[in-house]
């Protein structure tokens, strides 16, 4: 009912619509309309009431509910189904359950905060309420399981393009799954797969974007490592606008992969990388070496030139960082 009332208020385009007209179109009592209007106000919607004119929607809260997101989408696949849970442990954990239960490809799960958000290698992810985009996407690709790790590179390309479009911030990709600006992390990406030997059942891609986190809100251990779009632009950024552009760019990238393979995406990744050409330390479970990151191969592995020769680094096996960083 609230969704339908919001749709009518938005259709009025800043004008008034009477309670009588709403009750007539939705076939409910005016008292029911009034109760739903009050509930919307409690949720943060700024709705002006006039005894003769009715109701007027002045401002919507910065929340990522289906009612707020769906009207802005410019995608055909991503967002076909939108699941919204205001507070959750991890969007990827819940989305994997949805995928295993057979949800449609393109389903997205959105939350306002994560209590157990995580990145690659089980690292934690700071996800405060209403301050970022904490999102997971379900894909059911037809390519082979060994190509699934490249979905992380595909997503990174899409998110960088979206952030540049919306904010103008010239951020770049740190191999394999982080997006940085001036050396500080803006975005983390976590790709998880369920597959058989020769076929992917589903891929869940988790995306965490630091949008409107103020510098004083960052935990002390993250202050030197992370940043947000608000910190870098000096003003709040519309999460809804950014989300819809991210989904659009990701859908375009996925369509490109499905028609032309990953090679065009890998070339775009090279152009947006902040890792290639840099000295890096590669830290594995049983070894560590330093060198210059020179390229990625067709599998998305990082190629590092060292004094002993070229090393091939596979995502998930190691961490990398700028040479000399502790």
Q: What is the pLDDT of residues 188-216, one digit of tens each?
A: 999 999 999 899 999 999 999 999 999 99
Of the candidates 280, 305, 283, the residue with the CA atom closest to the CA atom of residue 294: 305
Report whether 140 belongs to an annotated binding site: no
Determine how β-strand 309-313 pairs with β-strand 302-306.
antiparallel
CA–CA gap between residue 162 and residue 242 (Å, rounded): 7
Q: How far is CA 302 from CA 141, 222, 255, 257, 269, in A?
A: 24, 26, 24, 20, 12
Report whether 114 belongs to an annotated binding site: yes
Residues of the chain with CATH 3.30.930.10: 66-272
Residue-wise pLDDT tens digits, 263-309: 999 999 999 999 999 999 888 777 888 999 999 999 999 999 999 99
Phi, psi dihedral angles at 281 (to 5 degrees): -100, 130
For tokens 């990398």, the residue is 320
209-237 residues labelled b (16+ CB within 10 A) or e (exposed) = bbbbbeeebbeeebeeebbbbbbbeeeeb
Residues of the chain with CATH 2.30.30.100: 278-322
281-297 residues labelled b (16+ CB within 10 A) or e (exposed) = bbeeeeeebebebeebe
The CATH H-level (homologous superfamily) assignment of domain 66-272 is: Bira Bifunctional Protein; Domain 2 (3.30.930.10)
With cut-offs at 50, 70 and 90, classify the pLDDT of residue 323: low
Residues of the chain with CATH 1.10.10.10: 1-59
CA–CA gap between residue 271 and residue 58 (Å, rounded): 42
CA–CA gap between residue 291 and residue 278 (Å, rounded): 8
Of the candidates 137, 143, 121, the residue with the CA atom closest to the CA atom of residue 298: 143
Report whether 120 belongs to an annotated binding site: yes
Which of the four CATH numbers 3.40.50.1980, 3.40.50.720, 2.30.30.100, 1.20.120.430 does domain 278-322 have? 2.30.30.100
Which class does domain 1-59 fall in? mainly alpha
Report whether 119 belongs to an annotated binding site: yes
- Return the structure tokens found at 91: 């969007």
Reply yes or no on whether the pLDDT at 79 is more than 70: yes
Report whether 91 belongs to an annotated binding site: yes
With cut-offs at 50, 70 and 90, classify the pLDDT of residue 326: very low
Report whether 312 belongs to an annotated binding site: no
Report whether 74 belongs to an annotated binding site: no
């Amino acid at each position: 009912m609230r969704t339908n009332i919001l749709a009518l208020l938005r259709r009025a385009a800043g004008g008034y619509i009477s309670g009588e007209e709403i009750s007539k179109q939705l076939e409910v009592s005016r008292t029911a309309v009034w109760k739903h209007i009050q509930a919307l106000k409690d949720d943060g919607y700024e709705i002006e009431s006039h005894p003769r004119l009715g109701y007027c929607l002045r401002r919507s809260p910065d929340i990522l509910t289906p009612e707020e997101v769906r009207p802005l989408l410019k995608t055909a696949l991503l967002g076909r189904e939108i699941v919204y849970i205001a507070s959750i442990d991890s969007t990827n954990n819940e989305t994997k359950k949805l995928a295993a239960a057979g949800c449609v490809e393109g389903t997205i799960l959105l939350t306002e905060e994560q209590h157990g958000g995580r990145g690659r290698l089980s690292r934690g992810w700071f996800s405060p309420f209403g301050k970022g985009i904490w999102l997971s996407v379900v894909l059911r690709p037809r390519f082979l399981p060994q190509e699934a790790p490249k979905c992380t590179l595909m997503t990174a390309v899409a998110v960088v393009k979206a952030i540049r479009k919306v904010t103008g911030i010239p951020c770049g990709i740190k191999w394999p799954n982080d997006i940085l600006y001036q050396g500080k992390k803006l975005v983390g990406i976590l790709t998880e797969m369920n597959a058989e030997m020769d076929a992917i059942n589903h891929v869940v891609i988790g995306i965490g974007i630091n949008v409107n986190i103020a510098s004083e809100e960052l935990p002390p251990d993250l202050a030197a490592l992370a940043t947000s779009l608000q910190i870098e632009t000096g003003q709040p950024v519309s999460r809804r606008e950014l989300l819809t552009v991210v989904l659009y760019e990701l859908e375009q990238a996925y369509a490109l992969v499905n028609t032309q393979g990953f090679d065009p995406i890998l070339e775009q990744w090279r152009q947006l990388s902040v890792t290639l050409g840099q000295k890096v330390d590669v830290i594995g479970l049983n070894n560590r070496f330093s060198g210059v990151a020179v390229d990625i191969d067709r599998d998305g592995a990082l190629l590092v030139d060292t004094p002993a020769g070229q090393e091939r680094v596979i995502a998930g096996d190691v961490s990398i960082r700028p040479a000399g960083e502790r």
